[in-house]
């Protein structure tokens, strides 16, 4: 049974709730993620999830903050995974460059970050998560040949950025 008499009452309640809680929720998220855009994305997603369960949620404020906290946690996990992968990429590339006698100060992390996402994702999964091409294809919903082609294109871009000193062996 709905706690609202009609859809107009439901819409007004939702609008009032958004007006009352969104600024505080977004500000709270901002303090946790240190980025305005991400904070607004998280706060908006929390409200979107609330709307999906609107009639079943008895305490909307609590639901919003718990949902936002879970989304912030997911965001932090993603950042940790990216940082680990970039750190590994930087270390591996620096070692390869040192073996070749090249300048180890090349900003490898920036080169990997600068790759288009369609190339960066397979590079991180293949080289730094050690996943096989077949698994990357499944995870990214691409054909194996496409993944291989993307890895090749990424190696070429990284090689150019590193001045031709990229190791072929992996």
Domain parsing of the chain, residue ranges = 7-76, 80-161
Residue 154: CB atoms within 10 A of its CB come to 23
Q: What is the pLDDT of residues 12-57, one digit of tens each?
A: 878 899 999 999 999 999 998 888 999 999 999 999 999 888 888 8
Residue 4: DSSP 8-state? S
List the one residue out of 87, 76, 77, 71 whose CA is nearest residue 34. 76
Do 64 and 18 contact (CB within 8 A), yes or no? no
Write down the architecture of domain 80-161 according to CATH: Orthogonal Bundle (1.10)
Q: What is the pLDDT of residues 71-109, one digit of tens each?
A: 998 888 888 877 777 766 666 655 555 455 444 445 666
Round to whole Å and give the CA distance between 89 and 108.
7
């Amino acid at each position: 049974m709905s706690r609202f008499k009609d859809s107009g009452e439901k819409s007004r309640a939702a609008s009032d709730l958004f007006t009352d809680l969104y600024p505080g929720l977004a500000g709270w998220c901002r303090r946790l993620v240190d980025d305005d855009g991400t904070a607004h994305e998280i706060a908006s997603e929390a409200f979107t999830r609330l709307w999906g369960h609107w009639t079943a949620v008895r305490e909307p404020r609590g639901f919003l903050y718990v949902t936002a906290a879970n989304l912030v946690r997911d965001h932090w996990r993603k950042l940790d995974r990216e940082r680990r992968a970039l750190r590994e990429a930087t270390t591996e590339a620096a070692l390869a460059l040192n073996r070749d006698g090249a300048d180890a100060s090349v900003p490898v992390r920036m080169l990997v970050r600068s790759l288009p996402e369609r190339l960066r994702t397979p590079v991180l999964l293949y080289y730094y998560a050690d996943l096989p091409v077949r698994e990357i294809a499944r995870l990214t919903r691409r054909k194996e040949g496409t993944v291989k082609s993307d890895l090749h294109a990424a190696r070429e871009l990284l090689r150019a950025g590193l001045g031709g000193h990229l190791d072929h062996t992996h």
